[in-house]
Amino acid sequence: MKQAVIGVDIGGTNTVIGVFDEASNGNGTSRLLTKRTIPTLKPDFPNKTSHPAIFFDALTRAIEQLAEEAGYAGRISKVGAGVPGRVDPIQGMALGASNLGWVNVPFSDEMSRRLGGTPVYIDNDVRIYTLGEAIAGAGRGFANLIGLTLGTGIAASLFVDGRMVRGSSFYAGEIGHDTVAGEHSPCNCGKRGCLETIASASGIARLAKEAVASGKDTCLRDLEQPITSYDVYQACLKGDSFAQQLFRDVGTTLAHKLMTAIFLLNPEVIIIGGGAASAGEFLLAPIRETIEAQYPALLKRPQVCLGELGDSAGLIGAAAFATRQSEFI
């Protein structure tokens, strides 16, 4: 009987789970049958934990229920997962995720045990997201690319000559914890002024909230609920000059940080995803303008585009990572 492959994309706020069958779509991926979003439970946060049992239990229940609904009860062959922060995919360890409060979490072993011995494979969530886009989305046909997600935090994934770059300590791509001159806001990592405190969905929301508190003239003052980055985007669509300038400032700050990576790696394309990516051209335009101003005119500049697959990118990447281990480890 056919078995299912499970893809999991863990974010700082929500976790998406997908069930795949084993039929190929012709691009090396399995077929996504159904998916579901659950909260990323973190009752210990901001305290640190090596055993997020409540989340693991909830994730196990959701995987089993979704597999059953898809007609694959008790028939899961393997699980792939994208996990935030520093991840050792060889040992299956989540070494450090500042936005979850995880330190040295034996993710693969714990989830495999709960799932009756099913193999569980993990890597950094942004690498997994970018893998999905590289296989089936905006990165198709490119060997050199940067994937960037702007959600609760911000991180990048690097593909050089078709290979994922993880770094000597599995920390490659953590651009969100590079500091920005003149910035002092506290970051979940323990430092102050990290790029993540500005160029992330949570950072954009923070900047908007502080501006409203200081009396800025913006329609965001009329909101009765806590401001989100999506609210700032909606204000942009209404012509709110403060909101539009906020995204321009965020995009420009992010672009200046990206320029170092662009000069080092010479990517063909930069793919941007995550919640804050919903801002579209309000965010992408200043990034493109900065690259155009700083990159040599005689060289082909990297494309800057949104991811094409939405929250399915991480699922597709996770399923492919689980089923094609020899290619990516």
Average pLDDT, the chain: 95
Distance CA 317, CA 121 (A): 11
Asked whether the beta carbons of 275 and 230 are under 8 A apart, the reply is yes
User: Residue 255: pLDDT above 70?
Assistant: yes
Q: Indicate the range of 23-32, 127-136, 236-245 predicted with least confidence.
A: 23-32
3-state secondary structure 217-241: CCHHHHCCCCCCHHHHHHHHHCCCH
Distance CA 25, CA 4 (A): 15
User: Residue 63: pLDDT above 80?
Assistant: yes
Tens digits of residue pLDDT in 111-134 = 999 999 999 999 999 999 999 999
pTM for the model stands at 0.93
Tens digits of residue pLDDT in 204-221 = 999 999 999 999 999 999
The contacts of residue 80 (CB under 8 Å, 6+ apart) are 5, 6, 7, 8, 120, 121, 122, 128, 317, 318, 319, 320, 321, 322, 323
Tens digits of residue pLDDT in 136-181 = 999 999 999 999 999 989 999 999 999 999 999 999 999 999 999 9
Tens digits of residue pLDDT in 106-116 = 999 999 999 99
User: Residue 259: pLDDT above 90?
Assistant: yes
Q: Which three-class secondary structure state does DSSP give residue 254? A: helix
∠ at Cα 221 (217, 227), nearest 5°?
125
Residue 26's pLDDT is what? Answer: 58
Residue 30's pLDDT is what? Answer: 80
Residue 236's pLDDT is what? Answer: 97
User: Residue 6: pLDDT above 70?
Assistant: yes
Kindly indicate the confidence band of residue 329, based on its pLDDT and cuts at 50, 70 and 90. Answer: confident
Distance CA 20, CA 327 (A): 19
Dihedral, 6, 7, 9, 15 alpha carbons, nearest 10:
-30
Residue 22's pLDDT is what? Answer: 74
Distance CA 258, CA 127 (A): 17
Distance CA 64, CA 107 (A): 17
Where b means 16+ CB within 10 Å and e means fewer, 45-69 reads: beeebeebeebbebbbebbbebbee
> Of residues 1 and 127, which shows the higher confidence score?
127
Residue 53's pLDDT is what? Answer: 97
Distance CA 99, CA 241 (A): 31
Average pLDDT for residues 261-285, to the nearest whole number?
95
Kindly indicate the confidence band of residue 280, based on its pLDDT and cuts at 50, 70 and 90. Answer: very high
